[in-house]
């Protein structure tokens, strides 16, 4: 294997992967399963469980076991028990092609229920098979999020174990459970015994001795590499994922050394928001703080306090209850050694420290909330009685007026308008739920009910364009193996184990196979032939209407594109024969030295495309010449040739799809976002589009030769088994194991474009006033200018791992970049003119702001040493006299008159832009402030702080108008509505709160399941978009507070999200660096440009 593929940072390692390290658990699990013991591998995430299972399955299969793997996460969570069991039964059928498992299961379901029917079929496996059967149930902890208890599932497994004494066949049926949960967490009901019958396998972290095999793959000097590995182990303690990840990054460096290692540790992990922004640390923290416990807050407090003691010194296991010990170990932060609980590694100790514990203690949160409320009460105490009296008088005197107004309202046109709006909002909520469930037909009908509403906003256009991509659905009644299209139409032949069904404009006709239990091996390219294994070392060739054409010896491994030849691997697996499908005579043969998986040729006289496990070769069988050979780091799942582009599409078992040039064998494109193992591929006849279908039912659409998907088609709950374009490439058909065939409009009217920016994800994401460009920057010093089509227009890379500060000019698309390394860069994407001021910053830039007034643009910067500069037209910087206390953030009024800073002592300073002098400094917060912003009308300032409060300040007088109390943890940011009348604040308490900026009253509370990273108003002020650590973007109605959309296609923290200023798009980026742009045909009416960018960095 090439050196660049030695390390693997994430994912399951293939059995033969050279970087896999065998541990004691490898032998323990193998011995236990060969002795037919039930086994559980229940340990923390990213410890190598999946790789261990892959290794074990390979070893067991070599020793004669039949292994069946169930991925319990694959079947989804929003299901009924019957649907869930049907998914598991389908997995058994896929891996037992000779059986009638699924059909027999369906028959039994109506009689005895889904769980009983499923295990009735599992119970019969040993008697039907002549080999031991081992069932691996992976992601077992996923059952805890199912909407029904899975107790019956585990009770049935226990029953299989208990029945061994009466049924000796069951001795050959073994289960292995894999996941991140304790046996006691799997069963909810106290009436069901805990799942404690399995031998527990514990995966220990790597020892320093284990890592010696890596020394030859970290630089050219093995001695220095051993020192580097020792340092890696010092940081990670042998953590499998972290070790592989760090080695993988260092492996890419020409001269890996300890200094580079420490830089990676510092920039990616041990920075002030590492536990929030690093995907791995975030996953560990979420696992710790989200226990599966009846009283999660109380239990989390107990675990945090226990962990606090462990940080001081290792604690005996006997000091804590069993459930606390189990949670500490499964979270991955703590390890158990000689019956003592200890921190797992140095890196975790540095990140998950006392400060992290304090910030997450619920009792500490409550204490701070009470202190914040008390401080607020003292501030307003002098006028509280007057305000209360006035409010009481107003309440009494206005009661009768309110009643009269309500009576009049019921007769007015206003009442009708409100009713229409309510119908519209309800329709949007319903359609969103239907789309998330994959019920596209129902969503389409629901949106029709809201089509006449005159004030349709972005969300209707988004959902409407999403659903109108989907045109129709055909229920095939039963699962299919694959589907082959008939010419350039949506007509097709469905291939099943029992026979075929040909669909025509007038209906369909079925043809049955004799001996329906014979397993299907291959289907030809045009659907003319199908092959089935017919005993040992022979197979039969059937026509598409079920007639037997020929019985041949060997193994069928492919057809030519025109189906005039079939390729057969002989029983010795040393020769491939090309057999004519008319005369059934061998026309060419080729000797092979390694196992061949498939062979393809354009015609009977063309070169062969030969696929092995991890490589593809183009061979001339007449001359034995190898024209080219291309290797891949993972197993190849499928390969298909397309004439329009003369490309081969290659789908890998782990997910990525590649296109190869047929002539040279070189990789043309590596496509992103495969969604799991590739099951089907297609290219349009005009060569414009490429599509892939994955095992999780998702279809991705690409522009050919561009790696990022331009469309994501969801709705199939089962894996995709066929895709093709038809109707002159205007439509796409997709077939799935769920028994349905769907058609879609191409090109999609909705472009959900994705762009992979890399880990770590950007901390700053902004959009230009014209909405034509976005820009992103991250802590590695990378800045990208991105077009509205989600392509990178220009990129700046810093040699220093710091976060460059960026903004767009308030009135143009001019991008400004500020950092100590870059200086001040301005770039105009309209004419590609770039200008740099070098040496203007003495320390790292912490914040930037700009505003424009009377054609004059002012730019301000704040440096880490507290130095504030004001530039005129991005030139001629003048230093401002700094406040006495260190400034933390700055903001400039949109009218360019005032600059304000929030300072480390909690004060706010207001500065004149014209004179560069401080006008006043006022005390505001009792704890460290985090953010400051002006209202769009320049009259108000808002600040937020760790003291759990936000303030609204009069910008000219410096008077605190309102102190906003309600959050129960530190705040992140605040944003004004476009009309300056309202404010939203975000907090670590998992809420976004909407306030009336004039009265200071709370309007709505928007609840997330975890902390919030971003929130903002749409440009018309009618919608609020929020995103955060619960991996969901929510769109809310600003007036009613109703949640309209929940966008769930994220697997990690949403770092930033906002609407573009023209209202056409919702753009976001997550912690893995995935930028998603949801583009619609909707836009707001033309309006006057703001004098200040409304999308400044949080």
Kindly report the three-state secondary structure assignment for every residue of 19-78: CCCCCHHHHHHHHHHHCCCCEEEECCCCCCHHHHHHHHHHHHHHCCCEEEEEECCCCCCC
Give mean pLDDT, residues 1076-1088: 74
CB contact set of 398 (below 8 Å; sequence gap of 6+): none
What integer pLDDT is reported at residue 76 of this predicted model?
67
* Distance set, CA 447 to CA 34, 290, 426, 742 (Å): 57, 36, 10, 20
Using one digit for the tens of pLDDT, what is the confidence trace for 425-449? 888 888 888 777 656 667 888 888 8
pLDDT over threshold 50, residue 979: yes
> What are the residue boundaries of the structural domains of the chain, listed by start?
24-200, 637-749
Contact residues for 407 (Cβ-Cβ < 8 A; gap 6+): none
The mean pLDDT of the chain is 84
CA–CA distances in Å: residue 494 to residues 104, 491, 512, 739: 21, 10, 12, 10
Distance CA 390, CA 841 (A): 53
Between β-strands 199-200 and 39-42, what pairing exists: parallel, antiparallel or unpaired? parallel
Residues 761-784 have a mean pLDDT of 92
What is the distance between the alpha carbons of residues 263 and 260, in angstroms, rounded to a whole number?
A: 5
What is residue 1055's predicted lDDT score, i.e. its pLDDT? 92
- The residues that bridge with 473 in the sheet, in sequence order, are 742
In terms of pLDDT, which residue wins out, 297 or 958?
Answer: 958
pLDDT tens for each residue of 517-551: 787 888 888 888 999 888 778 899 999 888 989 99
Cβ partners under 8 Å of residue 515, min gap 6: 534
Q: At what angle do helices 114-128 and 151-162 cross, to 10 degrees?
A: 30
Question: In this model, does residue 370 exceed pLDDT 60?
Answer: no
| Three-state secondary-structure class, residue 264 | helix
| H or E element at residue 234 | helix 222-236
Q: Judging by DSSP bridges, how do beta strands 133-138 and 173-179 pair with one another?
A: parallel
**Separation CA 890–CA 849 (nearest Å):** 7
Residues in the chain: 1098
Backbone dihedral angles phi then psi of residue 482, each to the nearest 5 degrees: -160, 175
Asked whether the beta carbons of 1023 and 1017 are under 8 A apart, the reply is yes
What does the block give as tokens for 780?
Answer: 């590695």
pLDDT digits (tens, 9 = 90+) for 899-941: 999 999 999 999 999 999 999 999 999 888 999 999 999 999 9
CA distance 1076 to 1057: 9
Q: pLDDT exceeding 70 applies to what percent of the chain?
A: 89
pTM over 0.85: no
pLDDT for residue 881 is more than 90: no
pLDDT, tens digit, for every residue of 1041-1074? 999 998 877 878 899 999 998 888 999 999 888 8
Query: What's the pLDDT at 193?
Result: 52
Looking at residue 205, what DSSP letter applies? P
Over range 975-985, report the average pLDDT. 95
- Considering only residues 714 and 921, tell me which one the structure prediction assigns the higher pLDDT: 921
In this structure, how many other beta carbons lie within 10 angstroms of the beta carbon of residue 838?
Answer: 10
Q: Directed axis angle between helix 440-448 and helix 458-469, to 10°?
A: 140
| Residue whose entry in the numeric block shows the structure tokens 């979420």 | 286
pLDDT band per the 50, 70, 90 thresholds, residue 709: confident
Measured from the Cβ of residue 431, the count of other Cβ atoms closer than 10 Å reads 30
Name the CATH superfamily housing domain 637-749. YVTN repeat-like/Quinoprotein amine dehydrogenase (2.130.10.10)
Q: Which of 1013, 1011, 965 is nearest to 989 (CA)?
A: 1011
Confidence of residue 975 (pLDDT cuts 50, 70, 90): very high
Contact 994, 1030 (CB under 8 A): no
Question: Among all chains, which residue has been given the structure tokens 């227009």?
Answer: 793
Q: What's the burial of 399, exposed, middle or buried (CB within 10 Å: 0-12/13-18/19+)?
A: exposed
Across the range 697-708, mean pLDDT stands at 84
Model pLDDT, residue 1010: 85
Query: Which CATH class, in words, describes the domain spanning 24-200?
Result: alpha beta
pLDDT in tens, 584-605: 999 999 888 878 889 999 888 8
pLDDT confidence band for 77 (50 / 70 / 90): low
Task: Give the pLDDT confidence of 379-425 residue by residue, as tens digits.
Answer: 433 333 332 333 233 233 333 333 443 444 444 454 667 778 888 88
């Amino acid at each position: 294997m090439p050196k660049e593929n030695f390390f693997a940072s994430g994912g399951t390692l293939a059995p033969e992967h050279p970087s896999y390290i065998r541990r004691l658990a490898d032998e323990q699990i193998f011995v236990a399963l060969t002795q037919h013991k039930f086994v559980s591998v229940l340990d923390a995430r990213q410890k190598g469980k999946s790789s261990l299972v892959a290794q074990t399955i390979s070893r067991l299969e070599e020793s004669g076991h039949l292994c069946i793997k169930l991925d319990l996460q694959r079947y989804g969570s929003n299901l009924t028990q019957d649907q869930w069991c049907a998914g598991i039964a389908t997995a058994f059928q896929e891996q037992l092609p000779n059986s009638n498992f699924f059909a027999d299961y369906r028959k039994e379901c109506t009689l005895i229920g889904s769980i009983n029917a499923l295990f009735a079929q599992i119970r019969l496996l040993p008697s039907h098979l002549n080999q031991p059967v081992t069932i691996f149930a992976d992601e077992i902890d996923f059952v805890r999020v199912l909407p029904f208890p899975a107790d019956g599932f585990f009770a049935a497994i226990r029953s299989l174990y208990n029945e061994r004494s009466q049924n000796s066949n069951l001795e050959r049926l073994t289960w292995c459970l894999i996941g991140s949960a304790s046996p006691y967490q799997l069963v909810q009901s106290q009436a069901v015994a805990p799942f404690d019958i399995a031998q527990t396998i514990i995966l220990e972290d790597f020892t320093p001795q284990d890592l010696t095999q890596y020394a030859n793959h970290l630089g050219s000097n093995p001695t220095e590499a051993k020192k580097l590995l020792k340092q890696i182990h010092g940081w990670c303690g042998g953590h499998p994922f972290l070790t592989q990840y760090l080695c993988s990054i260092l492996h890419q460096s020409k001269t890996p050394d300890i200094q580079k290692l420490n830089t990676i540790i510092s920039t990616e992990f041990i920075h002030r928001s590492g536990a929030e922004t690093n995907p791995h640390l975030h996953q560990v923290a979420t696992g710790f703080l989200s226990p599966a416990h009846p009283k999660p807050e109380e239990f989390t407090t107990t675990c945090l306090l226990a962990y606090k003691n462990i940080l001081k010194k290792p604690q005996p296991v006997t000091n804590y209850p069993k459930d606390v010990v189990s949670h500490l170990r499964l979270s991955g932060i703590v390890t158990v050694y000689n019956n003592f609980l200890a921190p797992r590694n140095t890196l975790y100790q540095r990140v998950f420290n006392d400060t992290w514990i304090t910030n997450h203690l619920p009792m500490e949160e409550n204490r701070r909330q009470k202190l914040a409320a008390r401080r607020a009460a003292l501030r307003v105490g002098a006028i509280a009685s007057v305000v209360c009296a006035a409010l009481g008088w107003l309440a009494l005197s206005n009661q009768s007026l309110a009643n009269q107004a309500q009576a009049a309202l019921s007769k007015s046109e206003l009442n009708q308008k409100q009713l229409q709006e309510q119908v519209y909002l309800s329709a949007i909520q319903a359609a969103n739920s239907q789309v998330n469930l994959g019920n596209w037909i129902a969503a389409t009908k629901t949106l029709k009910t809201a089509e006449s509403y005159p004030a349709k906003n972005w969300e209707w256009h988004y959902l409407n364009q999403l659903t109108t991509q989907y045109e129709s659905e055909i229920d095939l009644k039963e699962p299919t193996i694959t589907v082959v299209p008939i010419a350039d139409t949506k007509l097709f032949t469905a291939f099943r184990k029992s026979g075929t069904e040909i669909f025509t404009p007038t209906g369909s006709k079925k043809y049955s196979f004799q001996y329906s239990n014979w397993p299907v091996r291959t289907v030809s390219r045009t659907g003319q032939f199908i092959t089935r294994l017919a005993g040992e070392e022979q197979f039969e060739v059937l026509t598409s209407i079920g007639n037997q054409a020929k019985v041949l010896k060997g193994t069928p491994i492919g057809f030519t594109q025109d189906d005039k030849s079939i390729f057969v691997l002989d029983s010795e697996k040393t020769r491939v024969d090309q057999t004519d499908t008319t005369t059934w005579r061998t026309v060419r043969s080729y000797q092979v030295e390694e196992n061949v998986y498939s062979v393809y040729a354009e015609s009977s006289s063309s070169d062969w495309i030969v696929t092995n496990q991890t490589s593809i070769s183009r061979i001339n069988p007449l001359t034995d010449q190898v024209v080219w050979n291309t290797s891949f780091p993972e197993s190849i799942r499928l390969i298909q040739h397309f004439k329009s582009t003369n490309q081969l599409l290659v789908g890998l078992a782990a997910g990525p799809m590649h296109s190869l040039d047929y002539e040279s064998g070189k990789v043309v494109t590596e496509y992103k976002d495969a969604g799991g193992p590739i099951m089907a591929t297609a290219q349009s006849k005009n060569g414009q589009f490429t599509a892939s279908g994955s095992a999780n039912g998702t279809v991705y659409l690409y522009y050919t030769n561009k790696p990022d998907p331009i469309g994501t088609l969801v709705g199939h709950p089962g894996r995709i088994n066929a895709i093709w374009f038809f109707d002159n490439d205007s439509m796409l058909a997709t077939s799935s194991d769920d028994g349905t065939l769907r058609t879609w409009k191409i090109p999609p009217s909705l472009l959900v474009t994705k762009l992979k920016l890399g880990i770590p994800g950007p901390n700053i994401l902004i959009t230009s006033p014209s909405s034509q460009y976005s820009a992103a920057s991250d802590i590695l010093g990378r800045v990208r200018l991105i077009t509205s089509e989600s392509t990178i227009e220009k990129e700046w890379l810093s040699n220093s791992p710091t976060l460059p500060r960026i903004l767009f000019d308030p009135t143009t698309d001019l991008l400004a970049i500020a950092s100590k390394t870059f200086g001040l860069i301005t770039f105009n994407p309209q004419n590609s003119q770039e200008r740099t001021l070098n040496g203007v910053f003495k320390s790292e830039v912490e914040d930037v702001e700009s505003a424009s007034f009377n054609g004059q643009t002012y730019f301000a910067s704040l440096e880490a040493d507290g130095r504030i500069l004001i530039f005129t037209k991005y030139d001629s910087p003048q230093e401002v006299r700094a406040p006495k206390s260190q400034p933390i953030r700055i903001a400039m009024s949109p009218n360019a008159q005032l600059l304000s800073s929030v300072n480390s002592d909690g004060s706010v300073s207001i500065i004149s832009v014209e004179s560069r002098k401080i006008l006043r400094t006022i005390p505001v917060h009792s704890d460290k402030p985090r953010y400051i912003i002006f209202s769009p009308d320049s009259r108000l300032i808002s600040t937020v702080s760790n003291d759990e409060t936000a303030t609204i300040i009069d910008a000219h007088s410096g008077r605190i108008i309102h102190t906003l109390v309600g959050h129960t943890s530190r705040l992140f940011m605040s944003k004004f509505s476009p009309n300056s009348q309202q404010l939203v604040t975000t907090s670590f308490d998992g809420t976004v709160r909407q306030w009336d900026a004039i009265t200071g009253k709370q309007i709505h509370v928007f609840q997330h399941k975890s902390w919030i990273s971003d929130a903002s108003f749409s440009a018309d002020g009618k919608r609020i978009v929020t995103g955060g650590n619960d991996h969901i973007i929510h769109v809310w109605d600003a007036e009613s507070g109703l949640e309209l959309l929940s966008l769930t296609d994220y697997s990690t923290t949403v770092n930033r999200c906002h609407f573009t200023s023209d209202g056409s798009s919702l753009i976001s980026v997550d912690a893995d660096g995935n930028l998603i742009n949801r583009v619609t045909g909707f836009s707001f009416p033309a309006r006057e440009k703001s004098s200040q960018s409304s999308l400044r960095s949080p």
